[in-house]
Structure 1
């Protein structure tokens, strides 16, 4: 699945992408901290929706709070599984919560995503930074939902979102090659399809057509990075998205046992 995204720029990049965008007055995002955003931190993140005939940029929390999570205990237990939505369930699974909210579509602006690769014989997975070639920013399609329960401290009705994933293309299969949701990737789309995702007149057939799109491997750029979830500083003092030269790192698709000269020991 995709639990780590990056936005390493500023709000101008988003408004350049969609000039008619209206920025919510409550939006207060520290873009110095968005170079790495992890799903289960449930932090507010800028999300684009089409509401009241207007493109809006609003601060939503990653991780949908569904109406059946009617106690704090149920929210705590269930929300961790609501950060990603499998594309296969949005139209075709009539029992899925994602199908119920398929008209509440959003775009999640990113400059890239992170994914972890397993290598046999290595103690640690190797994180990779992945982005679309020739696009300083792109958007991952998602779904949003306003929590039916006010925040117990502020009384706020939270906007929450999930990021849509699909089966991986050839390159992403070699990067996301392990774990319980192996061989998945975020929905990567051409810009025209990203914007089409927000159109309120989009039919189920139109939604499915977008969900069926697979971004070709050659449209992706990617490289290994040092670490994203650890607080251990990089030895070269570069940022989290900068390429890192892992000693003895086998090429993608070659994940046999190799002696790892770990930098975490």
Structure 2
């Protein structure tokens, strides 16, 4: 699953990337560029929604569904909702189907996944990004969630990233663990703008989540593990050379 993302860009670059995009209401904020954020830290992240026009606002990564009704449950299980399988969105009775009309775009400059190599003790981390765009968009869903960080929970806007079956490149990189063979639901620019339209039908949703980002449009290379504490700078995505590392083809 996709728990590690990057956005090496500031707010102004995002505003220039999407025509007619504005900051939400009178909110005046910027977003510090980052080479890595892990979902389990539940960071604030800029997301794009259609609120009577395209707007960018900061939401917290990681919804808190109602079944997580104690602080202890939130602590143990919240990370399970950082990602959502896109196949569940059209499925009646699921949490994701219930909020399918609360769609958002998550701008990123790249993401990280781990590759399992036969005979190797440790998995190898890879940084993956689009060859076509400095900033690309991952489909997401948003919801208001209770915050259990305070004695009296308040409602906060949160989001989840949608994932789908991996394309041929990502099948080779994200090839281990319980959620092997998955990748973020990366969208083309055209589909990204469609995804946040308010009048999108269930048929439209089904068609969009079938989109597979073309493997030739991905660029990727091995990096050091991003699960270790390190400065948030270019070194995070620096290419690492491994002897006898099988190529991704």
TM-score by length of 1: 0.87
Q: Secondary structure at the match of 1:240?
A: helix
Q: Which residue of 1 aligns with 2:237?
A: 241
Q: Residues of 2 paired with 1:120 and 1:114: CA distance? A: 20
1:166-205 matched pairs, under 5 angstroms: 166-205=164-203
CA contact (8 A) 2:62 2:158 kept: yes
Secondary structure at the counterpart of residue 186 of structure 2: coil
Aligned length: 248
- Using the TM superposition, give the Cα deviation of residue 243 of structure 1 relative to its aligned residue in structure 2, in angstroms: 1.7
Alignment of 1:67-106 (within 5 A): 67-91=66-90, 93-106=91-104
Aligned residues: CA RMSD: 2.2
Question: 1:131-210 counterparts in 2 under 5 A?
Answer: 131-148=129-146, 152=150, 156-210=154-208
Which structure: greater strand fraction? 2
Structure of greater Rg: 1
Return 5+ residue gaps in structure 2 as ranges: none
Aligned to 1:43: 43
**Cα contact 2:10–2:31 (8 A) shared by 1:** no
**Per the alignment, do residues 243 and 213 of structure 1 end up closer, same or farther by CA in structure 2, a change over 3 Å counting?**
same
Distance (whole Å) between structure 2 residues aligned to residue 238 and residue 247 of structure 1: 23
- Cα distance in 2 for partners of 1:232, 1:152 equals 29
Residues 142 and 163 of structure 1 are in contact (CA less than 8 Å); yes or no, is this contact kept in structure 2? yes
| Corresponding residue number in structure 2 for 1:31 | 32
Once the two structures are superposed, the pairs formed by residues 9-24 of structure 1 within 5 Å of their partners are: 9-24=9-24
Displacement of 1:67 after TM fit? Answer: 2.5
Contact preservation (8 Å) 1:29, 1:46? no
SS in 2 for 1:179: coil
Q: Which deviates more from structure 2 when the two are superposed, residues 9-18 or residues 172-181? A: 9-18
Q: TM-score, normalised by structure 2?
A: 0.92
